[in-house]
């Protein structure tokens, strides 16, 4: 039989056990009121949210737009490396701490790693990581273009893109390339096949105008499974207007600059067996000296001259206006008859030195200047043979636009 005293003691022990249990549960659950005394709530996560544009595991990341952004905080560190090799990719955090981007364009078809950290206003940290690959060469396209950024060119210079893949969605690609001139001239694109897109105004560019092309092809699908990777702005300046007219009947060339004739020089056009194209031709390249081998343009071994002076390209098929030092100095004199294989020759000396007609013309010519050939028995040069779209009527040019 239990006495009252013993029962009372058992009741007190049980109550004490309950109190200890209650204290233990409170300790395991933490004390929100105790943390709030320090002005922070350790149970909350950082409000800084990091976003890496290239998702973890992605295989088609942009080589231009890949980077890191943060909201609700500031970036404290970003490390980007080439996966496998560990090679660092230089980059910089913006002044406001809100973003980071690489200093240079990434490589196509390359695997990268990004590790980023940030803090919110209360000093709580956040982290994010991504391992990804950029779009491959096989699944992307690039357009090689002319003129280059910062160039000064002649009034006939078109903007010309040559793409390394066939483009099937021409409208999508063309609509993401804009070309504007400070002259206010309307500029229209024209497709030559599936890989070349040229832009020009109806008439030659106005002298002194500035032309700006904006290339926004990054991520644009040009064909099934093939995307653009370029995003940049390019500008060039149109110099003075110079148009030189070669008259095959008289074997002379008249140079007109800004509407005024500045020189007339004798030339030697193509022979009766190898005539020169008629039409408007734009100088696309200049070489102080270059080799000309007839076998490269279908003439077999008829000629191979290693040091042709003052050579300026007129067509892709091999027509040049260039210096000629090997002509017959006897009768008839230079400029009386056509003797070339289709090029336009100017009197010159070997070594590209001396005060010759060829050197004067070379020194006074810009890439983009126009040379017009008339009265030749040959046909008019094809608009896509070189940068020679001026030989196409404006109605036909605009009909070849995809937008």
Q: Which residue, among 39, 223, 27, 1, has the nearest Cα to 123 in the 3D structure?
A: 39
Is 303:291 a contact under the CB 8 Å cutoff?
A: no
Q: In angstroms, how far is the first alpha carbon of the chain from the final one?
A: 106
Dist. CA 67–CA 224, nearest whole Å: 26
Q: What is the pLDDT of residue 292?
A: 85
The whole-model pTM stands at: 0.82
For 60, phi and psi rounded to 5 degrees? -135, 35
Reading the block at residue 359, the tokens are 């050197």
Look up residue 262 and give its DSSP letter: E
What's residue 377's pLDDT?
A: 96
Q: How far apart are CA 115 and CA 81, in angstroms?
A: 9
Best CA proximity match to 69, nearest among 89, 95, 93: 93
Name every residue whose Cβ is closer than 8 Å to that of residue 56 and which is 6 or more positions away in sequence. Answer: 129, 130, 131, 132
Q: Are 275 and 296 in contact (CB under 8 A)?
A: no
- Whole-number pLDDT of residue 332: 63
**Cβ proximity of 358 and 348 under 8 Å:** yes
Handedness of CA 260, 309, 283, 371 (dihedral sign): positive
pLDDT, averaged in runs of 10, over the chain (403 residues) = 44 39 34 36 79 96 95 98 97 98 96 98 97 97 97 98 98 98 98 98 98 97 96 97 97 97 95 94 97 68 81 96 84 74 92 93 98 97 98 98 97
- What's residue 302's pLDDT? 62
DSSP3 helix / strand / coil % (the chain, rounded to 5): 15, 40, 45
pLDDT of amino acid 44 = 79
Query: What pLDDT score does 106 carry?
Result: 96
Q: Which residue has the tokens 């926004």?
A: 216
CA distance 294 to 272: 17
pLDDT at 333: 67
CA atoms of 391 and 68, how far apart (whole Å): 49
- In this prediction, residue 296 carries a pLDDT of 62
pLDDT at res. 327: 81
154, 281 Cβ separation under 8 angstroms: no
Looking at residue 284, the DSSP 8-state letter turns out to be -
Q: Extract long-range pairs of 293-300: CB within 8 Å, 24+ residues apart.
A: 294/341, 297/341, 299/341
CA distance 204 to 44: 66
Q: Which residue has tokens 């994010």?
A: 128
Length of the chain: 403
């Amino acid at each position: 039989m239990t006495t009252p005293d013993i029962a009372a003691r058992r009741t007190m022990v049980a109550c004490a056990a309950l109190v200890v249990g209650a204290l233990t549960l409170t300790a395991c659950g933490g004390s929100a009121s105790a943390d709030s005394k320090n002005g922070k709530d350790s149970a909350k996560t950082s409000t800084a949210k990091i976003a890496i544009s290239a998702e973890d595991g992605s295989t088609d990341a942009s080589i231009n737009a890949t980077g890191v952004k943060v909201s609700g905080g500031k970036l404290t560190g970003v490390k980007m490396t080439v996966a496998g090799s560990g090679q660092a990719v230089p980059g910089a955090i913006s002044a406001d701490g809100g973003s980071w981007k690489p200093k240079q364009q990434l490589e196509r078809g390359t695997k990268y790693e990004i590790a980023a950290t940030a803090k919110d206003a209360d000093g709580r940290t956040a982290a994010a990581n991504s391992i990804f690959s950029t779009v491959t060469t096989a699944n992307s396209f690039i357009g090689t273009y002319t003129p280059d950024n910062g160039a000064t060119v002649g009034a006939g210079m078109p903007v010309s893109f040559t793409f390394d893949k066939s483009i099937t969605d021409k409208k999508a690609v063309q609509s993401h390339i804009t070309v504007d001139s400070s002259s206010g001239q309307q500029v229209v694109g024209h497709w030559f096949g599936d890989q070349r897109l040229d832009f020009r105004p109806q008439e030659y560019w106005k002298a002194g105008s500035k032309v700006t092309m904006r290339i926004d092809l990054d991520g644009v699908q040009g064909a099934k499974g093939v995307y653009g990777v370029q995003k940049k702005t390019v500008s060039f300046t149109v110099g003075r207007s110079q148009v030189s007219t070669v008259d095959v009947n008289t074997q002379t060339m008249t140079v007109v600059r800004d509407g005024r004739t500045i020189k007339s020089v004798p030339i030697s056009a193509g022979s009766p067996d190898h005539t020169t194209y008629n039409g408007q031709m734009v100088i696309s390249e200049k070489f102080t000296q270059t080799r000309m081998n007839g076998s490269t343009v279908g003439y077999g071994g008829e000629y191979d001259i290693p040091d042709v002076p003052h050579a300026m390209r007129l067509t892709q098929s091999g027509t040049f206006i260039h210096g000629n030092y090997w002509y017959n100095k006897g009768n008839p004199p230079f400029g009386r008859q056509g003797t070339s294989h289709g090029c336009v020759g100017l009197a010159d000396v070997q070594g590209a030195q001396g005060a010759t007609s060829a050197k004067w013309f070379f020194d006074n010519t810009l890439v983009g200047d126009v040379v017009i050939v008339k009265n030749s028995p040959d046909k008019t040069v094809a608009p896509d043979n070189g940068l020679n779209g001026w030989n196409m009527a404006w109605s036909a040019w605009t009909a070849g636009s995809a937008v």
